Structure 1
Amino acid sequence: MAKQEDLMDNAEGSEQLNIEQLEAIDADHDARMAWWREARVGLFIHWGLYSLPAGVWKGKEVPASYAEHLMLRARIPVSEYEQIATEFHAEHFDAKEWVRAAKLAGLEYLIFTAKHHEGFAMYDSDVSDYNIVKKTPFARDPLRELADACREEGIKLCIYYSHSMDWHHPDSQGNTWDYPHNIGAYDDVASWINDEDKRTRYEHYLHTSALPQVKELLEKYGPVGLLWFDCGHKLTAEQGAAFVKQVREVQPDCLINRRVWMDPYGDYGNTSDNQPHVRVPRKDWESIATLNDSWGYKVADHNWKTADVVLRQMIDVLSLNGNFVINVGPMGNGAFDPKSVELLEQIGHWMQTNGEAVHGTRQSPIGKPPWGRCTIKDGILYLHIFEWPTNGKLLVPGLRNPVLKAYALADKDRSALPVTRISEEDIVIEVPISATASTIPVLAIEFTGECDTNPVRLLYTADYPNNFGAFDADIEGPTVRYDTGKKDHDNLINWTSLEDEASWTFRANGPDRLQAVLEYGAAADVDGGSYELSVISKRSGETVSRITQTVKATGDGYEFAAFPVGHLSLPEAGDYVLRLKALSLPNGAFICLKKIVLERG
């Protein structure tokens, strides 16, 4: 079940094409992207008929991670699902409250679900009468009211539209219980492209319903910052291009996300849904996350993230030059649920103090320090401290520029903190023993000149462990791959070849000797395999230290355990490569690596 639901997030589709070349051809790309790069954070809103039953059908909770998939997962006939509309009063809907909540949380654009996979238009559609104005007692156009409220508050209006699937339409994809000859919800393009009946009827849906609705959305509601498409991997390249063409013809400045088809389409890249660990897909990219698990409101979903967790994920994305969009699924009555309101207020409180370290910033020029993350803007490096230094000294690696001043954003006086340069590339800031703020303090470093940094990871000799995560590794070989990056899947998988390897580059400020710890999962059939962990000098290319060990089973590839495996020695200061390779695979498989830690001991 989970695997099928994951297939809907468009994460697996990617064409190996030259994205940089495509963007260079489009001379208007940078101009279109300017507001988006400045905004950095937005609010996603999933609201539809599914919000009223909230994951429950006929008194029973439907086994689906996402409430908006209710119709599909419960296989609800169209005739029954339509009846939800007759009860959709939305008596507490207030567009101004929604937009004000986004603004107070420091979120600068709002993406509203004009139509999700269920096929119900949450706006006054002239293309289809199956819409909120004509079929519900609410009988108002929430998108019109949101467009007006966004203009009043200075929030950029953006629109989500499910273009590839419509479970209400007899010629679209997904609904095979009412329409047995339709394309299935999880069928790939290859399964239907040569089926004349399916292909012809689907093209009819696209040209008489989906494309005309996209056109009217762009014509009726004023300037739209972004058209957010979904499940474009279920289209052919030509069909995806038709949606790009439609947007460009009506609003040339409107951004298009990658899920209009697959890479390299769209103005920017998307990761998977709720993916806290990423490999950056493109120069401009976006991560989207829910406050709990579901996107649409689900009454039984109490798996709430804390504001701290959401902020850490947001900051991590910003530090990698991505945008971050936080989702709220309003209740069927049109109000945000109390927990979402509480979390948005907590996020907004942090943003009031630290928003300058978010809006308009770009990728960290010094990589990922072990104490947190960095962003940069206009000659200021912002240090987002996840783990406060207990000794009162924060080592900041890789900054060569002369420092003018360092201070805490939470300090209204912005009093200067003492700064000491310990090498050509590294400085130490003296900070209070206790953090300057309760939630993710931010320090600012003002420096002179063009930013001059070394992004290679510095090996810390004290205070922090050196974590070499699987998603930060460079991998080579025919089989090894990164896992999904979703919760508890931040590891390497499919390691089945002796030619596979994972490596990390780092630098050391002097000779050292560190304990190596491998954290991995290993099924019983890989027990007894062997591997080599080595350190290679970047200067000479020679292996300067090596450990060989045998694999110990943990019970399963996703039952992770940490194993001290020995010590690695560094003979001198310099750049090195940490490399892991399998030496023997007795049953044709290796571990699922989560991380390697080098620490004092």
Structure 2
Amino acid sequence: MHEQEDLMDNAGHSGQESVPALTVSADQDARMAWWREAKVGLFIHWGLYSLQGGFWKGQEVQASYAEHLMLRAQIPVREYEEIAAEFRAERFEARQWARMAKQAGLQYLIYTAKHHDGFAMYDSDVSDYNMVQRTPFGRDPLRELADACREEGVKLCIYYSHSMDWHHPDSQGNIWDYPANIGAYDDVASWIDDEDKRSRYENYLSSFALPQVKELLEKYGPIGLMWFDCGHKLTAEQGTAFVEQVRGVQPDCLVNRRVWMEPYGDYGNSSDNQPHVRVPREDWESIATFNDSWGYKATDHNWKTSVEVLQQMIDVLSQNGNFVINVGPTGDGAFDPKSVELLEQIGAWMQINSDAVYGTRKSPIGKPPWGRSTIKDNTLYLHIFEWPQSGKLVVPGLRNAVLKAYALADTERRALPVHRQNEEDIVIDVPQELMASTIPVFAVDFAGACDASSVSLLYTQDYPNRFDAFDAHIAGSTLRYDTGKKDHDNLVNWKILDDEASWKFRSSGIGHWKVALEYGADEQAAGGSYELSVYSSSTGERVAHILGQIRSTGGWYDFDVVDIGSLSIPHAGEYVLKLGAASLEGDMLMCLKRIVLEPS
């Protein structure tokens, strides 16, 4: 279902089981403190590929990621090297890069010191295949950027492709120049017992990759984190060598999970551009692009809006993650106008709402239908994605006494009317003048240690209640979550009667809801009937039940919303919504995206 190039982002390797655990040092919390406070960062993908903009010899190369140009076009090393002679970077200004990050409210900057193409975008002593010795630019951009970041108060971090190097004769990926090499999509099991491939690859790691990591940590001052990539292409022992190299030079420098796989690294990573995530650990990071490519691609105009980027960022923060947005500068070293525009829009929002970002932690009230929340100390921040037409914002699950509620956009912080609906829920009268604002944020100051419930409240007005596939608890031997990337936030492999998806929710009283399933079903391979039930958590009694037949939607990813009936909840309390197969007539029941309960 996906192009091969997308397999290089450790997709499917973020929740490995039965892997050796690394010992967590006593100073782990101290090392992580700046990162947990920062919350948001800027990724920069800049390299020889940037000058090409996704083209080679006048033809566009079919690659989602422009930085994969050399691999996708299978450009010989000697020809690819010639790009360096044209790399003048006449518009590169390190201070401008650091300042744009700062003005956008992004607290750390990750610079690509070396990507998979093997070209060092800094002054490397290990290899003369670098920015200073091979380009007419002739300067060290990383040295200038390190100085600029310190001046602007932005934490400098470094990306380094440690497992792959398409320029090096003993590394992985380039089999058009070096046919005996490990292929770009070969897994570890395919080469670990091949003495020639293994020994040459270990030579690359020990004589080239590890020394370059060492010099990066020695030459540019304190580094916030080393951001490694494609660690699933290494053995655990090889991944450990990179962790130890970092710790040996800069003990306080963080290491991301992609140095190998779970549970390595100081924090976890999602896959690239993965808006829907099953969070694997407490500390984690999501990375995204403004369009589709990471490196500059002249034809990629599939831009996200600033609202889409901010909503994805806030969703990540609400799940205790950090969020990093990427810019791919052009070959001359400038940020393209659209990226600058989006950074400015993000910066404008951050100027007003940064209190709801920096140093915040996971939402204690789950994922309300109106948006997301974050928390810091004794303040709950409410990020409003969908405005309540009634003007009454129901805040679920907060049991604490509320001291004050106000809009962050209100410089006078005037108190908004608040009343308690029941023991767990409050209602805020929200000002209509903020309705057109870009993701308004309300602060709720409360007394005492946070006492809250993350169980979803079933809303009776203003919003449909969405039970998304990625929020389900799944059971059964075949049912799985899809990749979580765009249009793949569904369940797959619903193949046996024991497969089941369930969600917990809470009702504040008697109510009636219309029910719809959103799913995809292939005409030839799908089929069967489903059973949707609601059970009381306290008694186990089934209080609602719907049976229905799956019909084709045209394809597994041709999602359709199908009304299936209605259900009633008899009284207040906690419940479990369960969906299972009553019968199976095809290869799979369906690809479920969500269940929707609409107040009726």
Task: Please state which band the TM-score falls in when normalised by the shorter chain.
Answer: over 0.9
The answer to whether the aligner puts 1:94 opposite 2:97 as a matched pair is no
What is the match of residue 16 of structure 1?
Answer: 17
Percent sequence identity is 73
Q: Judging changes above 3 Å, is the alpha-carbon distance between structure 1 residues 18 and 429 closer, same or farther for their aligned structure 2 residues?
A: farther
- Going from structure 1 to structure 2, the CA distance change for 1:527 and 1:117 (only over 3 Å counts) comes to closer
Q: How does 1:52-63 map to 2 (within 5 A)?
A: 52-63=51-62
Q: Is the 8 A contact 1:406 1:419 kept in 2?
A: yes
Counterpart for residue 184 of structure 1: 183
Which blocks of at least 5 consecutive residues in structure 1 are unaligned?
none
Correspondence list, 1:158-557, <5 A: 158-435=157-434, 438-526=437-525, 528-557=527-556
CA positional deviation for 1:436? 5.3
Shift of 1:55: 0.2
Once the two structures are TM-superposed, the CA of residue 344 in structure 1 deviates from its matched residue by: 0.2
User: Quick check: 2:90–2:333 contact (8 Å CA) kept in 1?
Assistant: yes
The answer on whether the counterparts of 1:526 and 1:591 sit within 8 Å (CA) in structure 2 is no
**Match for 1:514: what amino acid?**
W
Task: Give distance in 2, aligned partners of 1:245 and 1:350.
Answer: 40
Partner SS for 1:47: coil
Secondary structure in 1 matching 2:12: coil
> What is the match of residue 7 of structure 1?
7
What residue identity is the alignment partner of 1:515?
A: K
What whole-Å deviation, never above 9, does each CA across 1:432-466 have from its counterpart, x for those lacking one?
23425620000000111000101110000111000
> Matched residue of 2:592: which SS?
strand
Q: Which one-letter code corresponds to 2:6 in the other structure?
A: D
Shift of 1:562: 0.7
d(CA) in 1 for partners of 2:466, 2:586: 29
User: What CA distance in whole angstroms lies between the structure 1 residues aligned with 2:518 and 2:531?
Assistant: 15
| 2:329 alignment partner, SS class | coil
CA contact (8 A) 1:410 1:437 kept: no
SS in structure 1 of the partner of residue 201 of structure 2: helix
Length-normalised TM-score, structure 1: 0.98
Query: How many angstroms apart in 2 are the aligned matches of 1:126 and 1:478?
Result: 52
The amino acid of 1:131's aligned partner reads N
Q: Per the alignment, in what secondary structure is the counterpart of residue 227 of structure 2?
A: strand
Q: Deviations over 1:204-242 (max 9, x none)?
A: 000000000000000000000000000000000000000
2:434 aligned counterpart, secondary structure? coil
1:5 Cα deviation (Å)? 1.3
Structure 1, 275-284 or 433-442: larger mean CA deviation: 433-442
Q: How many residues align?
A: 599
Q: How far apart, in 2, do the equivalents of 1:309 and 1:335 lie? A: 24
Residue 26 of structure 1, CA deviation: 2.0
- Matched to 2:356, the amino acid is A
Kindly provide the CA deviation profile for residues 179-220 of structure 1, in whole angstroms up to 9, marking residues without a partner as x: 000000000000000001000000000000000000000000
Corresponding residue for residue 29 of structure 1: 28
SS state at 2:452 partner: coil
- Please give the per-residue CA displacement for 1:106-156, whole angstroms capped at 9, x wherever unaligned: 000000000000000000000000000000000000000010011111110
2:594 is matched with: 595
Deviations along 1:77-99, one digit per CA (max 9) or x if unpaired, are 00000000000000000000000
Letter paired with 1:232: G
What whole-Å deviation, never above 9, does each CA across 1:151-192 have from its counterpart, x for those lacking one? 111110000000000000000000000000000000000000
* One-letter identity of the residue aligned with 1:482: Y
Q: Which stretch has the larger CA shift, 579-588 or 190-199?
A: 579-588
Q: Secondary structure at the match of 1:561?
A: strand
Cα distance between partner residues in 1 of 2:89 and 2:532: 60
Check the 8 A contact 1:497/1:588 in 2, yes or no.
no
* Matched letter for residue 307 of structure 1: S
Question: What RMSD, in angstroms, separates the aligned Cα atoms of the two structures?
Answer: 1.2
**Separation (CA, whole Å) in 1 of partners of 2:484 and 2:127:** 38
Structure 2 unaligned runs (5+)? none
Matched residue SS, 2:206: helix
Query: Quick one: distance in 1 between partners of 2:332 and 2:415?
Result: 50
The 2-side partners of 1:548 and 1:52 are apart by 58
Contact 2:527 2:589 in 1 (8 A): no
